[in-house]
Structure 1
């Protein structure tokens, strides 16, 4: 779960936990435990790990929090929530849900948090969440979702956090997230994403955090991130990115942290980060970089941390600008002792920080 997710969910749970008092509750399923909050009356229904195979009936009409995690529920039928119109939080993680009826959540206009993590969901019903006008958090991680379509998220104009890690996504289509105009956090890590449409992130003007860690992305299309004007953190670690251009990162004017660890980058254009004046943390370790123009960092006044280790640095005259910048910067570099030459043979394992101009030759 992301840092942003934890912070935002913590705020929700603080709100949901205020003024809680335990009282006996009538109309509670026998197998569950119910308790009631002091006025206005709202009940918490705890059916966690009770061996349920279907969504429970006979729920108290003032149910506010519903805990159904670790049961054997296989599907969500139409009007499952009609009897509990005040419901604000539902936890259905680690069940066996395969299907969700398009009207399963009909009438749940006060729902703020829906946790469907760790089920067997392969597809989301078109417009299935459109009644959830106040939903802020939707957890869909560790399912089998392979395709995204904009109609799946229709009506979710207040959603702030969408978690989709550990699914079966192979591509991000155009306009897939377009209805999510208030989204702040999008976690797509640990999927199989190979291709990103140039219009994949259309509509996400409020997004602050995008996680694409552990996928199979090879290239970032020009302008793909252009809609993300508010983005502060982008994680592209553990992919197959081999090239990166200025146009690929266009639009990330507010980016503060960029993580590109463990990719296949061999070369970076000197202007690739020139439109990121707020960048304070940049991670490029674990790539195939042999040389780098150190002058690219002189236009990054906010840079505080730079990670460059585990690259096959070729210590010749072409790396002199990087060595010179390293000697002048106040930014924290990935352990300086970990930045070592791989070639030429006579400088192998020599620290970049100890190099001198006269030792750096360029051979024909």
Structure 2
């Protein structure tokens, strides 16, 4: 009899959940989860529905036509942990849109038309771990936009319209581990832009318009393990630019315009295991500089205009060391002088490398 009573209560709960399901959506309970998954994917919705099951756990609302996120839109759903609103037409977010959503862990707003984030608009998202804002039109960021997000670990902002990173831009994000800023138009980074990001492990600045990075810019992210600066306009690197990166393990600076590397450029990065400098304008490099980085295992230097004269002897010696991965280094080809043009560097003999008097 007791089992029958439990069964009746369960049936009533399911019926009530389904009754409050938006007409265009499918609602279902998942095994071992006391909550309802609401799937409104690709239903041509033009407004955020006002009625959901009270125990809603996941909202899937991608590829609709929603343009605005109203105030208190998810306040009545205390179990909500994930909201996916990717590829809608969202242009505006009310400052109280996410009011009361203290259990929300994932918010996906990729592929919308957002130009501005409301100040303190995410302040109630105390447990949010993942915030996805890629493929929008966000032109500027301020620290007040991220107030309250003390547990955020992953912030994705690729393919927006950012041109500068101001001081303290991400300061409230004290638990942030991943920051993706690729495919923007960033030309200038304040030396204090990354203040507060002491837990950051991965920073992606690929495909921006950086010509220069000021000394000490990365000083506050001293736990960073991977830095990506590919596809920018950098013409030089310096040790002061990399100051503070004592835990950096992977460094990618491919397809820039770097012509030379100072002998002490990696002085502040003793833990480097992988360096990628392919697709630059390097004519020569000091192999001893690379040899002094004890844990370095992978070096990528192809697609540079190597000048094979006596100044490249130390690089040739480094290539022949057994402890490094030789495969990528065997792709290096001489561009000049004429007698060595087209030859692979690793097959050259030191005695054949001459320098002008």
Runs of 5+ consecutive residues of structure 1 not aligned to the other structure: 1-21
**1:163 is aligned to 2:129:** no
Q: Give the conservation status (yes or no) of the 8 Å contact 1:132–1:156.
A: yes
The runs of at least 4 consecutive aligned structure 1 residues that moved more than 6 Å come to none
Partner of 2:213: 220
The yes-or-no answer on 1:90 pairing with 2:121 is no
Equivalent residue, structure 2, for 1:273? 266
Q: Which of these residues, 169, 182, 192, is aligned with residue 199 of structure 1? A: 192
| Cα drift, residue 45 of structure 1 | 0.7
Alignment of 1:298-309 (within 5 A): 298-309=291-302
CA-CA distance at 1:30 after TM superposition: 1.4
Residue number among 122, 146, 150 corresponding to 1:153 in the alignment: 146
Cα distance in 2 for residues equivalent to 1:357 and 1:37: 68
CA contact (8 A) 1:307 1:334 kept: no
Question: How many angstroms apart in 1 are the aligned matches of 2:269 and 2:317?
Answer: 22
Q: Which residue of 2 aligns with 1:11?
A: none
1:354 aligns to what? 347
Q: How does 1:239-250 map to 2 (within 5 A)?
A: 239-250=232-243
Query: Once the 2 structures are TM-superposed, how far is the Cα of residue 36 of structure 1 from its aligned partner?
Result: 1.9
* TM-score for both structures, normalised by structure 2: 0.93
**Relative to 1, partners in 2 of residues 1:212 and 1:333: Cα closer, same or farther, differing over 3 Å?**
farther
CA–CA separation in structure 1 for the residues paired with 2:145 and 2:356: 58
Take 1:204 and 1:188, find their aligned partners in 2: how far apart are those partners?
15
- How far has the Cα of 1:346 moved from its partner? 0.9
Residue 94 to residue 363, structure 1, CA distance change in 2 (3 Å):
same
* Length, aligned pairs only: 343
Query: Which residue of 289, 292, 297 maps to 2:285?
Result: 292
TM-score (norm 1): 0.92
Unaligned runs of 5+ in 2: 1-12
- Aligned-CA RMSD value: 1.4
Largest Rg, 1 or 2: 2
Query: Over residues 107-161 of structure 1, what are the superposed CA-to-partner deviations in whole Å (9 max), with x where a residue is unaligned?
Result: 0000000000000000100000000000000000000001010000011000000
8 Å CA contact retained: 1:293, 1:322? yes
Residue 315 of structure 2 aligns to a residue whose secondary structure is helix
| 3-state SS of 2:299 partner | strand
Structure 2 residue corresponding to 1:75, chosen from 61, 68, 92: 68
1:125 aligned to 118, 124, 136, which one?
118
Match in the other structure for 1:19: none
SS of residue paired to 1:335 = helix
Distance 1:333 1:173 in 2: 41
Question: How far apart are 1:187 and its partner, in Å?
Answer: 0.4
Q: 1:219–1:241: 8 Å Cα contact kept in structure 2?
A: yes
Stretch deviating more after TM superposition (264-273 or 34-43): 34-43
* 1:327–1:39 Cα change, 3 Å: closer
Structure-2 residue corresponding to 1:283: 276
Indicate the residue corresponding to 1:140 in structure 2: 133
